[in-house]
Structure 1
Amino acid sequence: MSDHGQADLVTEAFEAQRERLRAVAFRMLGSHADAEDVVQEAWLRLSRQDAAAIHNLGGWLTTVVGRISLDVLRSRQSRPEASYGDRLPGIVVLDEEAEPEEEAVLADSVGLALLVVLQSLKPGERLAFVLHDLFAVPFDEIGRILGKSADAAKMLASRARGKVRATEREPVSGREQRQVVRAFRAAVRDGDFGELLRVLDPEVKLTVDTPGGEVVVLGATEIAGRARLFSGAAAREREVLVGGLPGFMSWRADGTPLSILYFTVTGDRITAITALTDAAHLTAMNLSP
């Protein structure tokens, strides 16, 4: 077969794997943009290989995507000052008139709650759990990616599985989540400290993404005491979905974006808040009030 014909076969074989590889990378990284970058890098690495010598192309590509994703996760850990805005999920500004239950279809099939939990896992745990539990990759292959034994990979997956199960609670509908967030907004607007404590989980975590890095505040009392952070100069607000999570975006009177807040709601309380305040990132999103 000619070199051109062989290249066409390799391209066709890769394209047949693309969606699966993108799904693996997204579940590893929680970012569609990063997942696309990882899949593209996997293609570049394949193009430099003798594809005829690869007996299991799907397995080879999964291993490559796993290794690249692991490097990205470790890089994030070593650069905690990097802005979360760079890997922000998609944002949808909701219609003010509608009750957008249909917006739930925008959520990725992995499940938003699971993505939130996965972000708290260590890189090795996340890789072992995602590849084995979500994509049925054998532990010996996972071990090779991690540079560990199959038993060590199995232990990492088991540890991750335990953390995931520990966070599982009764699911809450999108409508119920938005009602909790609306109660939070009303309490902030009214300066109702008691209502804020009612809707905030005692161990709630606030992460504020600023140009200078992330600022973390822990605990309902601390966060309720800083409620002015959530209002201030806002002249206009709209409900949004951030990667499917409920939130709201604020603009100043001159139409420039002020902040995006989005929430993790468990039961009838808010367990995590992320506030994006980096003006450059907000402006680049080009979301009008």
Structure 2
Amino acid sequence: MLDSLTPSERLAFVLHDMFAVPFQEIGRILGKSADACKMIASRARRKVRAADRSAGPGREHHEAVEAFRAAALGGDFEALLRVLDPNVKLTVDTPDGVVVTLGATAVAAGARMFSGQAARHRPVLVDGVPGHMSWRPDGTPLSVIAFTVAAGRITGIRIVVDPAKLASIRLSAPA
């Protein structure tokens, strides 16, 4: 993010916002007035906020996750292959350890096997990116799934099915 700032913006932003250096001092360093440094720092903040917003998951990410969910629940192997990157990596955190599956065909075959198994599920944010949480009919958590998406295709899937880890997640089953 800081690389997108000019040297003056970077200096004013970092010195003032991170180290509380007064604009008067920053002005002496840059050879500008305190007011000019305030404007430079303000412009830098706007750029940083804009970059931060654009880095988050967008519509493309949500669409890929929804396409995967619909294809998996419907058991649609071809649709799964269309939404998965050929080199997708699936990581499943189980009570016995981590299991990794590589490649779209293997991941799609596994996803199809579980179609319809989650009695209840809902979209959630997992570390700020779209995912899903599912519950068994008795209300106990079944899984949490997070997705990594690039260029409209899913490149990574992280699933937690370890009951001990699921118990520490503070989400409740949908009503």
TM-score of Structure 1 vs Structure 2, range by shorter chain: 0.5 to 0.7
Q: Larger C-alpha radius of gyration, 1 or 2?
A: 2
Provide the rounded CA distance (Å) in 2 between the counterparts of 1:221 and 1:253.
30
Counterpart amino acid of residue 200 in structure 1: L
Provide the rounded CA distance (Å) in 1 between the counterparts of 2:51 and 2:161.
27
Q: CA deviation at 1:174?
A: 2.1
Partner residue of 1:206?
Answer: 90
Counterpart amino acid of residue 272 in structure 1: G
Q: Does 1:276 align with 2:160?
A: yes
Is the contact between residue 122 and residue 133 of structure 2 (CA under 8 Å) also seen in structure 1?
Answer: yes
Count of equivalent residues: 126
Provide the rounded CA distance (Å) in 2 between the counterparts of 1:182 and 1:207.
19
Provide the rounded CA distance (Å) in 2 between the counterparts of 1:254 and 1:110.
43
Q: CA deviation at 1:233?
A: 3.2
Provide the rounded CA distance (Å) in 2 between the counterparts of 1:182 and 1:287.
20
Partner residue of 2:37?
Answer: none
Provide the rounded CA distance (Å) in 1 between the counterparts of 2:114 and 2:56.
24
Unpaired runs of 5+ residues, structure 2, are: 1-17, 19-49
Is the contact between residue 121 and residue 134 of structure 2 (CA under 8 Å) also seen in structure 1?
Answer: yes
Q: Give matches, 1:8-19, under 5 Å.
A: none
Provide the rounded CA distance (Å) in 2 between the counterparts of 1:172 and 1:267.
14
RMSD, matched Cα? 2.7
Task: Pick one of 148, 151, 154 that aligns with 1:264.
Answer: 148
Provide the rounded CA distance (Å) in 2 between the counterparts of 1:233 and 1:191.
11
Q: Does 1:189 align with 2:62?
A: no
Cα distance 1:230–1:267, how it changes in 2: closer, same or farther (>3 A)? farther
TM-score (norm 1): 0.40
Cα distance 1:276–1:251, how it changes in 2: closer, same or farther (>3 A)? same
Unpaired runs of 5+ residues, structure 1, are: 1-19, 21-108, 112-170
Counterpart amino acid of residue 77 in structure 2: F
Provide the rounded CA distance (Å) in 1 between the counterparts of 2:94 and 2:67.
25
Provide the rounded CA distance (Å) in 1 between the counterparts of 2:69 and 2:162.
21
**Which one has the bigger strand percentage?**
2
Is the contact between residue 172 and residue 267 of structure 1 (CA under 8 Å) also seen in structure 2?
Answer: no
Task: Pick one of 228, 232, 243 that aligns with 2:127.
Answer: 243
**Which one has the bigger helix percentage?**
1
Provide the rounded CA distance (Å) in 2 between the counterparts of 1:173 and 1:278.
26
Provide the rounded CA distance (Å) in 1 between the counterparts of 2:75 and 2:169.
30
Cα distance 1:172–1:247, how it changes in 2: closer, same or farther (>3 A)? same
Is the contact between residue 259 and residue 277 of structure 1 (CA under 8 Å) also seen in structure 2?
Answer: yes
